[in-house]
Amino acid sequence: LRAKDESFADRFLARVISDGSEYNVVVGPRLGRSNSKEQYLYLYDTNRIELIDGSVYTINDQRDLLHREPLVASFRVIGALSGTPWNFTLVNIHTDPDEVDEEVDVLDDVIRLVQDADSEDDVILLGDLNADAQHLGDLADIPNVMWTVTDAPTNTRGTKSYDNILFSGTSTSEFTGVAGVLDLQAEYELTQEEALRVSDHLPVWAAFAPVEQTTRIASGADNRR
């Protein structure tokens, strides 16, 4: 979120729930080395997901290796389930395009730090990496690293693959193998100009089982190193 208006997130949430939907939002601090600040957000359906108390924090980047330190939050699936509800931790990142190689090489350490701090195996890195699946740097060191977007463009102009959802296939066996990129222009019959007014990026998504899994349940969209 890049907005100086501190009420923007609340007003956006109000629009989302205006149809009777039940959502909530986690908002991180304003971050950035320049005057242009950004905030990470998690918007979640409170009928399906609950935020785990005390789980929200911003990575402590003492060496200032990241332009915008990732926002971490842990969630639990709720509702009628036949099994142990899935717990997972999200790490939101927007790398700086001018320092992307250096920042991507730090993110494997971020994932390990979160795993150790939270005692959670299911740590999912997601956001605008400014890098495609062939340029993940040291993230390739994550055991059986998987990414949900490979060759598909994720920018609205259809020229670059910047955005992704990554995790260890060894530990996050809840991934169903189903994932993709939502083409706003095609889905809502927009011109490219209209779609660009929404965003210059497209949403990426992935599906996970709602209960803890001990073995992988699908491999339809497997991408691994």
Active site residues per annotation: 38, 94
Diameter of the chain measured on Cα atoms: 49
